[in-house]
């Protein structure tokens, strides 16, 4: 028997469940209780592409230090699924804990001797207490939360307060849930050694942060960004964003007097129609978006090219999952970067935004609509499943009530009457962005024909070489303008001068921050830069130029952001070292530390250049 792990406010609990068993809400209750005790948590659903009967896991990392990336390894396994028993037991760290339903005796060979085993006859307790099969199932989940509360020294009042909030309006459900909670708690206190050496202690490390998933946050961003038209087609992991938009709109966008909707949401027949609806609405002056994932992006390619070339505002939220093809629909990756950046045939380039957490999903979600109108082009918000479908602890949302929508360059009837020259593709300000008129503006002026074919500055069809080149070059100029409008990269220098740097983006942030602390403790210093938008700001290229080697940490096999950087920035490929994580699980600090330390040792054995004096 190894020494049991002892840790206060720093451990990982993993729940192994069967999907469709109602465990999700019990598990969330567990995570939220710890948050209410002032201790940061990171929670992640690991689930199959299935509705009922297959294994599903819920991982809760408790970290007073605020590390909310995935850690890897499990200190306490709550093994509720016989199907995955062996693999679940295997995953427990040496000295860890196994909590299981001991109703049916299991042979000794099913356990390990280097962990602490905690059996509780959950099924038996349920069968004794309840007669209804569904109740037995649902309350079993609450009973184990009650027991875990005792084992981990959770604040019982906090759990009960959360239950009351959860069932507010359905008050008669509160009491039975509290009862189940007590059943578990009382059994544990009476029968098991409580608390364990891993436990939670109330502190004040959460502050005013909020706990929300990125898809809900992005949908809220769309509400605050003034989106009125949404068209979507169900696809994991983006469907919950469309559903959240419906929820937010029902709450915030119903005319209080007429009860009519200040929004239109269409569940389209496919992704082709979704983006078509968005483009039609954008052309006609409404702020419109679709949300999808990789396969949807593939389907939308032709239309995205039209929006680029005809210069129509559109916002596309891509909640990335594991590809290629159907790939890993319920796993996370950052693998649509190239297919979005260069979406469609011919010479095209698109603006991408990379939010790091739900807070930025909200912020960039709203910003995307200003950018789309300003730049008259598709804007991609590059979420991923890890941010999109998991609750993250993040800074609260803020909004400036004096902020106005930037509708970009729209020529009005008054401007036309005043004799202002209108050429739909005429660059009057030198920023590559022309004026547009909305349909229905003026009886005699400003009408034009929108087309995907080549046209001159006045929107007249033309296949003349110079006319085509003139237009394509202006589009490049517009892309230059975009550079200054996308969120700037954020740089943080190491405590001491270093020749090494690291670039990262999106959901890698928490793992990267944690890795950086650990590397620093080992004496490895890195300047870091977080990319938040594409086209890359000059600062990104400067960052690469200032370092001998820059690690580019990303969650795909082919180093897609690195490719983009080398391609667009003419960066020396030898300077940019890929650190790639692509097994579908969220990247961990442990992975980054190991990868960078290993690559670094190779470089430092044969230094390419002397360190700066």
Partner 1 sequence: MTYLAKPKLHHPQLPTNKLGYTRRDYEGAVSTLCAGCGHDSISAAIIQACFELALQPHRIAKLSGIGCSSKTPTYFLGASHGFNSVHGRMPSVLTGANLANRDLLYLGVSGDGDSASIGLGQFAHSIRRGVNMVYIVENNGVYGLTKGQFSATADRGSRSKRGALNTDASIDMIGLAMQMGATFVARSFSGDKAQLVPLIKAAITHNGAAFIDCISPCVAFNNHAGSTKSFDYVREHNDAVNRLDFITGREEITADYAPGTMEMVTQHDGSALRLRKLHTDYDPHNRISAMSYLLERDAAGEVVTGLLYVDAAPMDLHGHINTVETPLNALDESALIPGAAALEKLNASLR
Please, which of residues 401-420 interact with partner 1 by CB under 8 A?
401, 404-405
Cβ at position 398, least distance to partner 1 in Å:
7
Query: Could you tell me the smallest distance in angstroms from the CB atom of residue 473 to partner 1?
Result: 23
Least distance (Å) from partner 1 to the CB of residue 220?
7
Nearer to partner 1, 109 or 398 (CB): 398
Q: What is the C-alpha separation between 149 and 84, in angstroms, rounded?
A: 24
Judged by CB under 8 A, the residue of 20, 280, 569, 584 near partner 1 is: 280
Contact 317, 289 (CB under 8 A): yes
Query: Which of 54, 173, 205, 272 touches partner 1 by CB under 8 A?
Result: 272
Residues 251-270 that bind partner 1 (CB under 8 A): 252-253, 255, 258-266, 268-270
Of 596, 504, 499, the residue nearest 548 (C-alpha): 499
Is residue 208 near partner 1 by the rule CB under 8 A?
Answer: yes
List beta partners, residue 101.
120
* Residue in 47, 99, 100, 224 binding partner 1, rule: CB under 8 A: 224
Q: Which is nearer to partner 1, 272 or 475 (CB)?
A: 272
Our finding on whether 228 is near partner 1 (CB under 8 A) is: yes
Q: Which of 40, 72, 214, 276 binds partner 1 (CB under 8 A)?
A: 276
**Where does residue 605 rank: exposed (0-12), middle (13-18), buried (19+ CB within 10 A)?**
exposed
Return the DSSP state at 262: S
**What are the beta bridge partners of residue 17?**
56
- Region 11-50 residues binding partner 1, contact defined as CB under 8 A: 35
Is 233 a residue that touches partner 1 (CB under 8 A)? no
491 interacts with partner 1 by CB under 8 A: no
* Contact stretch for partner 1 (CB under 8 A) within 8-16, 433-441, 558-566, 590-598: 433-441
Residue closer to partner 1, measured from CB, 278 or 385: 278
Provide, rounded to whole angstroms, the least separation between the CB of residue 342 and partner 1: 18
Give the separation between CA 130 and CA 182, rounded to whole angstroms.
15
Task: Tell the smallest beta-carbon distance from residue 297 to partner 1 (Å).
Answer: 16
Q: How far apart are CA 36 and CA 15, in angstroms?
A: 20
Residues touching partner 1: how many (CB under 8 A)? 71
Residue 19: both structure tokens together: 């999907």
| Residue of 174, 444, 134, 410 whose CA lies nearest to 286 | 410
Query: Judged by CB under 8 A, does residue 451 bind partner 1?
Result: yes
C-alpha closest to that of 245 among 264, 259, 273? 264
Query: 378 to 397, contacts with partner 1 by CB under 8 A?
Result: 396-397
579 forms beta bridges with: 553
**Shortest spacing between CB 91 and partner 1, in angstroms:** 31
Q: What is the DSSP letter of 48?
A: -
Q: How many CB atoms lie within 10 A of CB 208?
A: 6
Q: Which is nearer to partner 1, 277 or 485 (CB)?
A: 277
d(Cα 307, Cα 344) in Å, to the nearest integer? 10
Cα atoms found within 13 Å of the Cα of residue 43, Cβ hemisphere only = 27
Does position 162 interact with partner 1 (CB under 8 A)? The reply is no
What x-and-dash track marks residues 503-542 binding partner 1 by CB under 8 A? ----------------------------------------
Contacting residue, 8, 54, 438, 475, with partner 1 by CB under 8 A:
438
Q: How far is the CB of 366 from partner 1 (least distance, A)?
A: 9
Cis peptide before 324 (omega within 30 of 0): yes
Are 301 and 348 in contact by the 8 Å Cβ rule? The answer is no
- Cβ-based neighbours of 533, under 8 Å, separated by 6 or more: 351, 352, 353, 354, 486, 487, 488, 489
Q: Which of 53, 234, 439, 497 binds partner 1 (CB under 8 A)?
A: 439
Q: Cα-Cα-Cα-Cα dihedral of 175, 200, 143, 139, to 10°?
A: 60
Is residue 202 a contact point for partner 1 (CB under 8 A)? no
């Amino acid at each position: 028997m190894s020494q049991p792990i002892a840790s206060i406010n720093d451990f990982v609990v993993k729940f192994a469940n069967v999907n469709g068993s109602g465990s999700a809400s019990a598990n969330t209750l567990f995570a939220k209780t710890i948050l209410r005790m002032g201790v940061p948590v990171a929670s992640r659903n690991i689930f199959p592409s299935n509705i009922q009967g297959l294994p599903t896991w819920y991982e809760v990392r408790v970290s007073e230090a605020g590390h909310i990336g995935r850690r890897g390894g499990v200190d306490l396994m709550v093994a509720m699924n016989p199907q995955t028993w062996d693999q679940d037991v295997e995953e427990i760290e040496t000295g860890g804990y196994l909590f299981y339903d001991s109703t049916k005796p299991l042979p000794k060979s099913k356990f390990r001797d280097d962990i602490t085993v905690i059996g509780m006859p959950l099924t038996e307790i349920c069968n004794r207490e309840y007669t209804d099969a569904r109740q037995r199932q649902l309350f079993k989940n609450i009973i184990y939360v009650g027991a875990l509360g005792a084992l981990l020294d959770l604040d019982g009042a906090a759990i009960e307060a959360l239950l009351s909030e959860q069932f507010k309006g359905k008050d008669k459900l509160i009491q039975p849930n509290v009862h189940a909670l007590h059943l578990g708690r009382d059994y544990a206190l009476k029968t098991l050694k409580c608390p364990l050496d891993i436990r939670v202690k109330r502190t004040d490390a959460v502050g005013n942060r909020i706990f929300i998933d990125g898809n809900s946050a992005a949908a809220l961003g769309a509400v605050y960004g003034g989106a009125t038209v949404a068209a979507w087609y169900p696809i994991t992991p983006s469907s919950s964003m469309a559903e959240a938009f419906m929820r937010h709109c029902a709450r915030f966008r119903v005319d209080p007097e007429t009860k009519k909707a200040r929004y239109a949401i269409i569940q389209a027949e496919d992704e082709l129609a979704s983006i078509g609806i968005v483009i039609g609405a954008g052309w006609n002056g409404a702020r419109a978006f679709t949300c999808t994932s990789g396969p949807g992006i593939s389907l939308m390619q032709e239309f995205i090219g039209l929006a680029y070339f005809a210069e129509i505002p559109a916002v596309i939220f891509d909640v990335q999952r594991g590809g290629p093809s159907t790939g890993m629909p319920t796993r996370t990756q950052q693998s649509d970067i190239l297919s979005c950046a260069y979406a469609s045939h011919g010479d095209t380039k698109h603006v991408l935004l990379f939010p790091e957490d739900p807070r930025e999903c909200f912020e960039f979600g709203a910003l995307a609509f200003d950018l789309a109108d300003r730049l008259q082009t598709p804007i991609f918000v590059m979420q991923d499943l890890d941010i999109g479908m998991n609750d993250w602890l993040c800074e609260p949302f803020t909004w400036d009530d004096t902020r106005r929508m930037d509708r970009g360059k729209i020529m009005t009837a008054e401007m036309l009457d005043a004799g202002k020259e209108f050429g739909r593709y005429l660059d009057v300000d030198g920023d590559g962005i022309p004026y547009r008129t909305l349909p229905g503006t003026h009886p005699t002026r400003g009408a034009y024909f929108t087309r995907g074919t080549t046209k001159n500055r006045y929107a007249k069809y033309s296949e003349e070489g110079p006319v085509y080149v003139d237009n394509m070059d202006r589009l490049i100029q517009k892309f230059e303008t975009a550079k200054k409008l996308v969120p700037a990269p954020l740089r943080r220098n190491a405590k001491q001068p270093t020749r090494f740097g690291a670039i990262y983006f999106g959901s890698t942030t928490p793992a990267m921050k944690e890795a950086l602390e650990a590397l620093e403790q080992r004496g490895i210093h890195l300047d870091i830069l977080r990319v938040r938008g594409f086209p890359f700001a000059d600062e990104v290229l400067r960052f690469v130029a200032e370092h001998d080697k820059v690690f580019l940490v990303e969650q795909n096999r082919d180093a897609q952001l690195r490719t983009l950087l080398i391609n667009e920035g003419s960066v020396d490929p030898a300077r940019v070292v890929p650190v790639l994580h692509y097994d579908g699980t969220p990247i961990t600090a442990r992975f980054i530390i190991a990868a960078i330390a290993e690559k670094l040792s190779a470089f430092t054995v044969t230094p390419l250049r002397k360190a700066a004096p």
